[in-house]
Chain A
Amino acid sequence: MHSNNILWIVIRRMRTPLLVIIITFSISILGLVLIPGIDNNGHIYHMNFLDAFYFVTFMASTIGFGEIPYEFTYAQRLWVLFSIYISVIGWFYAIGALVTLIQDKKLISELKIAKFSKKIKNLKEYFVIILGYNHTTKDLIQRLSADNKRIVVIDKNQEKIDELELENFIPEVYAISANIDSPDTLRLAGIAKRNCKAIIVLFDNDFKNTKIALLARLLNQKINIIVKSSTKEQTEHLKNLGIKSIIDPFNLVANRFFLAISAPNLWFLEMLIFGHKLDIKDYEALPKGKYIICGYGRMGKALRESLDKANIECSFIDLKSAAHKAKKNSAIFGDAQDYKELVKAGVKNAVAIIAATKDDLINLTILRAAKKINPDIYTIGRENTIDDITIFNSAKIDRVYILEEIISEHVHRLVSMPLAYRFLEELHKKSNDWGADLTKSLKSMTNEDIELFEVRIVKKEAYALTKYLKNGGSINLGLLARSLGDRSKRSKIVFLMVKNRKEEVTLLPDDNYEVKVSDRLLVASTQEAREDFELIINNDNELYYILTGKELRFGIYKFFDKIAKKGDK
C-alpha cells in the first residue's frame, strides 16, 4: 500500500518532464533526418534515425562527441543550434524535477512510513506500543529498554520523534510521527500483530485516552491496554469497556501515601517491588499528628481520603495554582498574606505539610514558607515533571512524590513483571503485621540489595526443570532454594508468589509447595542466589546435584567410574 503511494508520487511528478523530453528529442531527431547533409565525397546524404538519435542523445546531455558521421553543413548546424537550446533545457528541467522530487516532503514522509512498516513487519519478538513521547514515556522507555523490551513509539510531532532518535535507545525503538488517534496509524504501528503485547496511552487528556483505548480494543481484542485516567468517573467508564490496566496517578500516590502512614512495612515491600533501595532512614517514616494539605485539586482530594482512612486529622488551604498566579502576578507563594493563611491553617502545631498544587514552583515555595514558620515540620511535595528533580533534591524536602515517575514505575512493572504487579495488589489487602513478618525475614536474610525476578516453568526459561517435571519427576520449592555450593544450606532466596496454570495465586508459598509445569514464580533474592537458582532450573547436572546430592557422571567420567568400581572389588 505504502510503496504504491511512493510510485504514484514519482509518476505524477515526472509526467511533464518526461513529456518535455520526448517532444524535444523527437523534434531534434526529425529535423536532423530531414535536413540533407554532404558526405566526404561531396554527395548529398540524409542522416539515418540511428545516427540522429545517437547524436541528439549526447548533445542533449551535453556530452558532445562532435559532428557525426560527416562534418555538418551550415543548414544542419543551424538546426543543431536550435535543438541544443530546446533539448538541453528539457533535459535539465527533467533532472531538476527529479532532484526536487527527492526533497519532496510528502515523498520523504511516505518513504519513512514504508521503512517503518517494513521494520514492524519484520519484528518477531514481543513488543509494546507507546503513544506520545514526553517525560513520562521517556522514563518508561529507559526502564523497558533496560529489560530488553521492544518498543514502538508514535507521536504527532516530528520534532519529538527526532529527539527520540537522538537518544539512541538499545534495542532500537521504532518511532514515527503520525496522527495518533487514527486507526490507520495504530494498524501501521502493528496493533493487530500477534506479538504486540500491550498499548500504553498516558496522555493528560482523559477524553483522548478513552478514545484511543476504545479504538485499540476494537482493533485487537486480546491486547493489554494500559491507559491513564485521572478521575473516578473516567476509571469507571474504562472498566466498563473491559480495560483492566488503568493507571490513576492520584490514586496511586494516595495509596502509597496511605501505606506509608498506616502500614510502613507494607510500604517497605511496595518500594521493594519497585526496585528502590532498602535501607530506610529515620526521616523517611511519616510522622503522626496533624497534617496540612495545600491545594485541594484531584491530588489533594485523593490524599485527604487516605488521611481520613488512616484516621488522621488534617486541614486545608484551598490553593489553585492558576488562580494564585493570576492574583499575585507571580509563581511564588510566600508574601505576608500567604504566611497568614499558613498560620491560620495551623502550621505552628502541625507535624507535616503537603504541597499538592499543579505548579512545581508554588509547591516549593509553600514548603519553604512552612519551614520558616515551623522549622520542625515534615515537608511533602508534589513534583509534576521529572525535569525539576534537581531543584527538588537541592530544596531538601523530606518526601517528594513525582507523578510522572510513579506512572512510569507502575506501567513498567505492569509490562515487564505482571506477577510483581499482581503481588502489589495482593499486598494492599494484607495487614501491617503480615508485612512486618516478611520484611523481617527479608532483612534477616541479607544486607545486600535484593533483586526481584519472574520465572515461568517452561522449556525456554527453565530447561532442565521442565524436562524433569515432564518426565514425571516432582520437586518442591524447598529443594529449589538449596545452595549450589552446599546442598544442605539454603541460598538467600524467598519465593514471594506462585501463579499456577489456572491463574490462582499463592502468596508466600511454603517449602512443601510442589512446582508444576507452566507455574510462574515471583522470586526475591540476592544476585548470587539468583544465579544459583537459574543454573539449577536450566542445567541438568546442577539439578541432579540438588535432587540427589551426587554429581551426574557422563561420557568418559562414567568409564572412569567403572574402572574405579572394578578396582574397589
Chain B
Amino acid sequence: MNAQKVISGFFIILAMTLNFGFVYGDINNFAHHSPYELFAAIVVNFIATVLKLGDKTQLGSVLLATSLVADIQLIASAIVWAVSLYVANHGIASSAQVIVSLASGALLANIVSVILFMGDTLKSKR
C-alpha cells in the first residue's frame, strides 16, 4: 500500500463526490444546493490540485490540467454567488441556474480526473 496514493486518491475522489453532492438536485430549487457543500468542494479541489503539482509525467500534467479546470469553474460559481447575493442584491433565486451549471462543469472535469487516476492505478503493476 502506498500512503501517497491513498492520500491523493482520497482527495481526488472526495473532490468529485462533494462536487456531485452540490450539483445533485433540482436546478431551479436552491434549497437543494447547500453553500457549505460548495465551500467544501472548493477547498478539497484546491488540496487535490496542490497534491497533483510536481508530477513531471504526461499523465500528471493532464491530471493537473483537469484540476485547474475544476478550480476555475468552482471559483467562478462562488463569485457569481457572492456577487448576486451581496453586490447586485437581487437575491439568489435568479442566479441559481448559473451557479449550479458552473459547478456541473467542474463536476465533468472532476470525473475525467478520476477516470485518468483510476486508469493509471490499474496500469501500475505494483
Contact = CB atoms under 8 A, between A and B. Distances in A.
- Name B's interface SS: helix
Given A8-B56, A49-B82, A50-B86, A29 B39 contact: yes
Given A8-B56, A22-B43, A48 B50 contact: no
Contact of A12 (B51, B53, B86): B53
Contacts of A8: 54, 56
A343 interface: no
A30 interface: yes
B47 interface: yes
A22 B85 CA distance: 25
Contacts of A18: 50, 53
A23 interface: yes
A97 interface: no
Contacts of B50: 15, 18-19, 22
Contacts, number: 38
Contacts of A49: 35, 39, 78, 82
Nearest to B83: A50
Interface string B29-61: 000000110010001001100110110100000
Contacts of B56: 8
A26 B82 CA distance: 17
A11 interface: yes
A22 B53 contact: no
A25 to B, nearest CB: 8
A12 B50 CA distance: 10
Contacts of A29: 39
A11 B46 contact: no
Contacts of A19: 47, 50-51
A95 to B, nearest CB: 17
A11 B53 CA distance: 6
Contacts of B46: 22
A18 B50 CA distance: 7
Contacts of A48: 85-86
Contacts of B35: 49
Interface size class of B (residues with CB under 8 A): 10 to 19
Contacts of B43: 22-23, 26
A15 B54 contact: yes
A23 B53 contact: no
Contacts of B86: 48, 50
Interface in A182-227: none
B39 A50 contact: no
Interface in B77-126: 78, 82, 85-86
Contacts of B82: 49-50
A8 B56 CA distance: 8
Nearest to A27: B43
Given A30-B39, A48-B86, A23 B54 contact: no
A12 B54 contact: yes
A29 B46 CA distance: 15
B70 to A, nearest CB: 15
A22 B54 contact: no
Nearest to B81: A49
B47 A11 contact: no
Contacts of B78: 49
B74 to A, nearest CB: 13
A11 B52 CA distance: 10
Contacts of B39: 26, 29-30, 33, 49
Nearest to A51: B86
A48 B43 CA distance: 16
Interface in A31-67: 33, 48-50
A26 B39 CA distance: 8
A361 to B, nearest CB: 56
Interface string A13-24: 011001100110
Q: Which of A8, A12, A22, A23 has the most CB of B within 10 A?
A: A22
B47 A15 contact: no
Given A22-B43, A29-B39, A11 B85 contact: no
A49 to B, nearest CB: 6
A33 B35 CA distance: 11
B10 to A, nearest CB: 13
Contacts of B47: 19, 22-23
Nearest to A25: B43
Nearest to B86: A50
Q: Which of A23, A29, A49 has the most CB of B within 10 A?
A: A49
Contacts of A12: 53-54
Nearest to B53: A11
A91 to B, nearest CB: 16
Contacts of B85: 48, 50
A19 B44 CA distance: 10
A23 B47 CA distance: 8
The 10 closest A-B pairs by CB, nearest first: A26-B43, A12-B54, A18-B50, A22-B46, A11-B53, A50-B82, A11-B54, A19-B50, A15-B53, A22-B47
16 contacts: A11-B53, A12-B53, A18-B50, A19-B47, A19-B51, A22-B50, A29-B39, A33-B36, A33-B39, A48-B86, A49-B39, A49-B78, A49-B82, A50-B82, A50-B85, A50-B86
Interface of B: 35-36, 39, 43, 46-47, 50-51, 53-54, 56, 78, 82, 85-86
Given A30-B39, A49-B39, 10 more contacts: A8-B54, A11-B54, A12-B54, A14-B53, A15-B54, A18-B50, A18-B53, A22-B46, A23-B47, A50-B85
